[in-house]
């Protein structure tokens, strides 16, 4: 009996040692696995963001500011690649042709939605070929008049147009762009009969209004911020649905009776389809945190911008709604598609 117990005890002891060895190996494998996962966590190398806007533009400055903070927060490098041309087609195609691994992103915007409406054969669809990642910034356009003009309010403008149909001029930049479509939308929603006169750019528009060649002009708020501050121009109305942090005293068209009028220039990061969910989540949460930083808010304000805090799903819905809005407007207004 004594020998039998000894043998049994020895067998149990060996079994216990074997069990402990297996547990130790399991823990070691688990730690190795976790270490390996950490080593493959996003991001492992530089991220490239392709922008359709030129170097130095407001959207470019926004992207570089946020891109730098993304790099700092994620301990990587963010490279901004400006590829302008063809209504954003060049930049979008560059992203779609790159590996869909989360390391090549696109800066898309309200201008992208307009391109989807304006161009007949756009080689990509922003709502079908891209995944929304994070919104960045937004800014409104503004209607302004000459400070010496009889038009000192939107009500003045509307009354004069009704009294002189087809005789007042609204200046915008190139036909088919944001300012031009904003003026076209105003005509469509109000029935006001005014002429839309396109100019090459903001500088030409500013000279036109100072010379009284046009009665009212439409441009992003930041383009005329200095002239407004120096009282060279009179603010008539904002085109956004709500007043901005840079323009709290300027009423919106919606407030002035053009119910539902909402044209804001916005931009955001998008990734091509099949981009790993981990990359989308990391970038989305990182940008959301950056937009809450006081330094970001102040830097945006200096550029007449506001942080645009939208979830990825809200950003995707905004793109969808804008494409539908501009497509409908172009059809109703009879604007030739390019």
Mean pLDDT, residues 250-278 taken together:
95
Domain count across the chain: 2
pLDDT at 23: 44
Please tell me whether residues 189 and 121 are part of one structural domain: no
Please tell me whether residues 190 and 122 are part of one structural domain: no
Please tell me whether residues 65 and 89 are part of one structural domain: yes
Q: Which of 202, 221, 238 is the last residue of a domain?
A: 238
Please tell me whether residues 119 and 52 are part of one structural domain: yes
Cα-based distances in Å from 318 to 81, 138, 325, 326, 328: 25, 12, 10, 12, 15
Please tell me whether residues 122 and 146 are part of one structural domain: no
CATH number of the domain within which 302 lies: 3.40.190.150
Other C-beta atoms lying within 10 Å of the C-beta of residue 259: 9
Please tell me whether residues 153 and 222 are part of one structural domain: yes
**pLDDT (tens digit, 9 = 90+) per residue, 149-200?**
999 999 999 999 999 999 999 999 887 788 899 999 999 999 999 999 999 8
Tell which wins on pLDDT, 33 or 287: 287
CA 103 – CA 247 distance, rounded (Å): 37
Q: Is the pTM above the cut of 0.85? A: no
Q: Helices marked H in 193-237 — which ranges?
A: 202-210, 225-229
Is the pLDDT at 3 greater than 60? The verdict is no
Cα-based distances in Å from 301 to 12, 67, 307: 74, 17, 9
Please tell me whether residues 150 and 201 are part of one structural domain: yes
Dig out the tokens for 259 from the structure. 């119910």
Is residue 21 a part of any domain in this protein? no
Mean of the per-residue pLDDT values for the chain? 86
Tell which residue, 183, 243, 184, has the closest CA to residue 219: 183
Contacts of 290 (CB under 8 A, 6+ apart): 66, 69, 70, 73, 296
Confidence of residue 57 (pLDDT cuts 50, 70, 90): confident
Is residue 18 a part of any domain in this protein? no
pLDDT at 40: 52
Structural domain boundaries enclosing 196: 140-238
């Amino acid at each position: 009996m004594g020998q039998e117990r000894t043998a049994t005890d020895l067998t149990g002891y060996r079994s216990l040692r074997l069990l402990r060895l297996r547990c130790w190996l399991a823990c070691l494998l688990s730690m190795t696995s976790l270490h390996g996962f950490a080593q493959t966590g996003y991001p492992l190398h530089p991220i490239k963001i392709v922008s359709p806007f030129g170097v130095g533009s407001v959207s470019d400055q926004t992207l570089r500011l946020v891109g730098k903070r993304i790099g700092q927060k994620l301990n990587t490098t963010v490279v901004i690649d400006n590829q302008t041309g063809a209504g954003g087609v060049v930049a979008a195609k560059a992203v779609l042709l790159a590996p869909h691994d989360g390391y090549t992103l696109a800066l898309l915007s309200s201008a992208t939605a307009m391109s989807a409406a304006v161009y007949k054969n756009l080689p990509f669809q922003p709502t079908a070929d891209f995944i929304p990642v994070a919104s960045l910034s937004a800014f409104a356009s503004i209607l302004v008049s000459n400070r010496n003009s009889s038009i000192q309010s939107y009500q003045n403008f509307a009354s004069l147009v009704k009294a002189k149909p087809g005789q007042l001029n609204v200046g915008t930049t190139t036909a088919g762009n944001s300012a031009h479509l904003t003026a076209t939308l105003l005509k469509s929603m109000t029935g006001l009969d005014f002429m839309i006169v396109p100019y090459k750019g903001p500088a030409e528009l500013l000279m036109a209004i100072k010379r009284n060649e046009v009665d009212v002009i439409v441009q992003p708020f930041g383009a005329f911020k200095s002239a407004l501050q120096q009282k060279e121009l009179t603010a008539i109305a904002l085109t956004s649905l709500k007043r901005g942090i840079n323009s709290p005293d300027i009423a919106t068209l919606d407030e002035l009776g053009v119910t539902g009028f909402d044209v804001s220039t916005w931009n955001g990061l998008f990734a091509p389809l099949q981009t790993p969910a981990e990359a989308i989540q990391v970038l989305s949460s990182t940008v959301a945190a950056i937009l809450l930083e006081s330094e970001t808010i102040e830097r945006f304000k200096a550029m007449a911008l506001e942080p645009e805090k939208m979830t990825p799903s809200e950003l995707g819905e905004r793109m969808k709604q804008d494409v539908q809005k501009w497509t409908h407007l172009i059809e109703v207004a009879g604007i030739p598609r390019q």
